[in-house]
Copies of this chain bind each other. A is one copy, B any other.
Amino acid sequence: MSKEERFVKQITAKSEDFSRWYLEIIRRTEMADYAPMKGIMVIRPYGYTIWEHIQRLMDRRIKETGHVNAYFPLFIPESFLKKEMEHLEGFAPEVAWVTHGGQEELEERLAVRPTSEAIIGSMYAKWIQSYRDLPVLINQWANIVRWEKVTRPFLRTTEFLWQEGHTAHETSAEAQEETLKILYLYKDFVESELAIPVIEGRKSARERFAGATETYAIEALMSDGKALQMGTSHNLGQHFSKVFDIRFEDREQNQQYVWQTSWGVSTRLIGALVMTHGDDSGLRLPPQVAPVQIVVVPISLGNWKENVLPAAAAIEKELREAGFRVRLDAREEFTPGWKFSEWEMRGVPLRVEVGPKDIKENRAVLVRRDIKKKDFVALAALTTRVKETLQEIQASLFDQALQFRRENTRDVADYPEFKETIESKRGFIRAWWCGDEACEDKIKEETMATIRVIPLKEEAGPSPRECVCCRKKGRELAYFARAY
């Protein structure tokens, strides 16, 4: 089988086997490939370009809110992780250990960072002396290693890329304000740029980051009805500052421990794009992060290289100069139909077709990837219509995902209904919870559903207000789901 034939071969239908569909899409679109080591992937240029757009758009938001970037070491001495036992226990099963440097065995083994609170805390202790040094608002873009047993490209891999913000503040209130500011920054980013609606909220104590006072998260519903955590923002309180002795002289000249936060999003967001927007024909990428926003396909009939290709090239040039990410597919060895399906699979939001008849009529054909709708556009109006259409696609992908989530968010009032719903329909379940971990554990064990978030704003939940598990008073409304 030649490399080319693979493109037309039918990919597994999403409805038939979601998991296989996901893996096939990622390989066939050349977003990622498996490295020859278990659980490790290579991010290929098509996938990495999406990450570059995510980085660019997120980095801008991070800087606009006053943060600066830095770079901390990959290796963390074991003794540093051990300083904070809860933190160590949370991460120890997942740590890769360096024991030798060159030919020599190290005196102390080094963790390959599973997260950077410990190493950053030790540096902040050196850098912060006075309230004048606060707040410290630092972010880093880095690779992270967690030795995972079960892996899936982009969603759970031994190595992944992320950004991790680490801040230090004078007061508890400021740290809490920062934690929520970032939570909403993440929400806005994911909804505006990735066109994925999320629910923001607080995690239960059991789902908290190891060492955090409070963990907040944004959660989205994938199109198979499972939830995906898209980003977390932790209020660390003074937990790490006491362990790493990060003290400052306050305005009254007293020694105080700083109040800290940490927060991150990762290459997992790329997996979320696939699982939220993809369909049986492949990816559907939001224009904001699509490596190619528009593909121009000349209809190759007759003398097309003389007649059609120059018109297609002129369109490509016009759109490129207008600032769009555009590609002209002038390959001779493929038919237009072949090219259509290849670029559909790759999720390019908009296709511009131009053929002999279109040239005669001074027009081009726009075809939207999201709803496969055709539109004839006069060449004079092309750039304007393309711009509008890309905005429509971005909005439409969000709306489609939001509608799906609404249809798949259900209130349940009792446990049998809970179990039945999670088994037959998945999706988010809104239910009351007494606040007792025993109920949380029982639900998880019996249904594989966990509390994804406890919403921050008051919501009218189902009636009666009783814990869906034990029937005692419902203390908190929670969103439950099976999750990745």
Which residues of A approach B to under 8 Å, CB–CB? 3, 33, 35-37, 40-45, 48-49, 51-52, 68-75, 77, 80, 92-103, 109-110, 112, 119, 122-123, 126-127, 129-130, 132-133, 138, 142-143, 145, 147, 158-159, 161
Contacts and interface: CB of A to CB of B under 8 A. Distances in A.
B123 A42 contact: yes
A319 B196 CA distance: 38
B98 A102 contact: no
Contacts of A159: 73-75
Given A37-B75, A75-B159, A110-B37, A70 B45 contact: yes
Given A3-B129, A33-B126, A71 B102 contact: no
A48 B35 contact: no
Contact of A77 (B37, B70, B80, B145): B37
Contacts of A127: 33
Contact of A68 (B45, B93, B110, B158): B45
Given A33-B123, A74-B159, A69 B98 contact: no
Nearest to A128: B3
Contacts of A94: 102
A12 B114 CA distance: 39
Contacts of A42: 70-73, 123
Given A133-B3, A143-B74, A102 B92 contact: yes
Contact of A102 (B75, B95, B101, B123): B95
B92 A96 contact: no
Contact of A36 (B40, B51, B122, B161): B122
Contacts of A52: 69
A68 B49 contact: yes
A336 to B, nearest CB: 19
A308 B127 CA distance: 32
Given A77-B36, A145-B74, A96 B103 contact: no
Given A3-B130, A99-B97, A69 B40 contact: no
B98 A36 contact: no
B70 A48 contact: yes
A95 B102 CA distance: 5
Contacts of A96: 75, 98, 100-102, 110
